A and B are shown apart, each in its own frame.
Chain A
Amino acid sequence: MNAIELPTATMSRSVIVSMARVNKSFGTFHVLKDVDLDVGRGEVVVIIGASGSGKSTLIRCVNGLEMYQSGRLTVDGFNMPTEADRAIGGEKELASIRKGVGMVFQQFNLFPHMSAIDNVAIAPIRVRGRKPNEAKATALRLLERVGLRDHAQKFPGQLSGGQQQRVAIARSLAMEPHIMLFDEPTSALDPEMVGEVLDVMRELAREGMTMIIVTHEMGFAREVADRVVYIDHGRILEIGTPVDIFDCPTHERTRTFLSRVLRH
């Protein structure tokens, strides 16, 4: 991956997520307006924008946590059912998609009644039908990878926010996803814990994981993103390399937004 590569040149590698004219509303509130976005395998895409602009909704559509009404969305070779499809059953397709898509939430959402290792092992056991012993061995390796091997037996309530978020990342990785979604993974953390989570994400990006990240950490975005997407009132206004977006944004709105978030 080099910096000269054209930002939209995803044709050179296979596309894993493809959105074409995707529209989504909550009742009368139109959240996503004709969103077009292709994400290539191994690419790291960072989505930025003001709160309420629809960036979380956008990535929540990618694993079907939000339903979209019109347009075309394919993930990893599967067509994501629309709201109308899901009303008449399309849940099986959804499960196939979710098996290949990991998600990390702002509030971690670890299962509080399970130890860290069980949090990581439960989905492979229940969804992929792995043997508990094997799944736990894998879980332990993953916890080691995020630096929490010694905390494997602790419960979420006994871990700090940063540690919980790293367990959550390990939990997603346990399903061996082809793509990882991060929905403001550091926004609920105390400042001193942001670094440990970003380190794990940086490492993942280096290993070639496809990632779509919603974040307010602009320094991190500049560092790891292949492309940055600026979204405003449900519309993608600009897509470009970090250099394009951060240093010479073409849109007035992008400039205003960046000057507001970069000033402090």
Chain B
Amino acid sequence: MTGVVLRWLRRNLFGNPFDTALSLVVIPVLAWAAYAFAYWILVEAHWEVIRGSLKVLMTGIYPTDQLWRAWFSVATLCAMFGAGLGLAVRPTRTALTIVALAGTLMAAIVANVIDVPSGMLTTASASLGVAAWIGVDHSALGHRIALPGLLVGVVAIFVVLSPPGFEVWGGLLLSIVLTIAVSILTLPFGILLALGRQSRIASLRVISTAYIETMRSVPLILVIYWIWIIVPLLAPDTSVPGLLRGMAGFALFFAAYVAEYVRSGLQAVPKGQIEAARSLAMSSWTVNVDIVLPQALRVVIPSLVGQILDIFNGATLVFIIGLTDFLRAGQMILADPQNSGRTYEIYVFLFAVYFTIGGAITYASRRLETHLAKGSR
């Protein structure tokens, strides 16, 4: 064992004089940085600030007596995530063990930091997710209801969360719900735009192309701001909540990108497929829905999952229309003079959470890519 390690070290770090010199400089520097960072995390940092502000970070100014609604959302999100996994990844014993360990660790942390009931709720949510994963993977029925189930889940989250008012949604919950809702909304809109761009009807083609190119040539922040301003002008008598206006801006913007991904998928479907379908007297609708889109979407699923990450990271921009997303919640806590010395703690925490979620999405996108590549020989 040590032999292997020594050989690896020799070959990769001390292979020639230059490598050796480089290693002698870089390794101590890295070791020192790692030590300093670990020392800061374990000894110097004052993590009570996180414990004290966790509620704000997670849910913003959502009323404390209504937090069960947030917990419902967490459980639903876990179930949706599990169902999504079940469609693509087998729950092998190793995978289940890893998830079980992670869930237990998470629950232990939550029980420690907040209180024991919250820890139990975390455990329950994680178990629900695992159950959905296994259920969807094992049964044909589960497979069939998984996608409609995701839609029902999103609607349920909105219905349950909305009674206290959209303006109190905040924190990580807002970021995640916004991301998921926008991801789902952009899909049908993007597909229609992609089909429109290829349509034989000239007016549809021109409108779709103009829309896509316009959206792709302006910054996201401009679109969000623009929709936020324009909706009250169009509907002066009704007050559309900022959250919904923000979501509309995101959806309108990212639909153009979805359209371009889908278009690349449509182009990847061989012409012979369309000819075969047409020669069987299928209507344009059937050709698109049953033959072309399933093949096209299969190709672009990894990119679409990757785009969820773009939306999630872009969700930080909703602060410009007065919403309190995760990042903004962190800044709000720092605005309290009492916490002014805790900048590093808050930002390290934000970084860790963003990194974990972003990493998970990237990993899922990779896995999907290999999984789909394996499926279509």
Q: Chain A: residues with CB nearer than 8 A to chain B?
A: 63, 65, 95, 98-99, 101-103, 105, 107, 109-113, 122-123, 126-127, 157-158, 168, 171-172, 175
Contact = CB atoms under 8 A, between A and B. Distances in A.
A127 B278 contact: no
Interface string B244-270: 000000000000000000000000001
Contacts of A172: 279-280
Interface residues of B, number: 20
Contact of B280 (A107, A157, A158, A175): A175
- Mostly, the A contact residues are mixed
Nearest to B289: A126
Contacts of B282: 123, 126-127
B276 interface: yes
Interface in B2-38: none
B295 A126 contact: no
Nearest to A95: B281
B283 interface: yes
A103 B279 contact: yes
B290 A95 contact: no
Contacts, number: 60
A242 B138 CA distance: 59
Interface of B: 270, 272-273, 275-283, 286, 290-291, 294-295, 298, 376-377
Nearest to A103: B279
Contact of A98 (B278, B291, B294): B278
Contact of B295 (A113, A127, A171): A113
Contact of A109 (B275, B290, B377): B275
B197 to A, nearest CB: 21
B275 A65 contact: yes
B275 A112 contact: no
27 contacts: A98-B278, A98-B281, A101-B279, A102-B279, A103-B276, A103-B279, A105-B272, A105-B276, A109-B272, A109-B275, A109-B276, A111-B273, A112-B376, A113-B294, A113-B295, A122-B280, A122-B290, A123-B280, A123-B281, A126-B282, A126-B290, A127-B283, A157-B376, A157-B377, A158-B377, A171-B280, A172-B280
A103 B282 CA distance: 13
A112 B295 contact: yes
A112 B273 CA distance: 9
A95 B291 contact: no
Given A105-B272, A122-B290, A127-B286, A63 B279 contact: yes
Nearest to A106: B272
Contacts of B277: 111
Given A109-B273, A113-B294, A65 B279 contact: yes
The winner among A65, A112, A175 for most chain B CB atoms within 10 A is A112
Nearest to A107: B272
B272 to A, nearest CB: 4
A263 to B, nearest CB: 32
A17 to B, nearest CB: 15
Given A111-B291, A113-B294, A126-B286, 4 more contacts: A98-B280, A111-B273, A111-B277, A127-B281
A37 B276 CA distance: 24
A177 to B, nearest CB: 10
A45 B302 CA distance: 48
Contact of A175 (B275, B281, B283, B290): B281
B281 A105 contact: no
B252 to A, nearest CB: 31
A65 B281 CA distance: 11
Nearest to B291: A111
Contacts of B279: 63, 65, 98, 101-103, 172
Which 4 pairs of residues, A with B, have the shortest CB-CB distance? A109-B276, A98-B281, A157-B377, A123-B280
B161 to A, nearest CB: 37
B312 to A, nearest CB: 29
A103 B275 CA distance: 10
A158 B374 CA distance: 12
B276 A111 contact: yes
A213 to B, nearest CB: 15
Contacts of B291: 111
Contacts of A122: 280, 290
A152 to B, nearest CB: 17
A105 B277 CA distance: 12
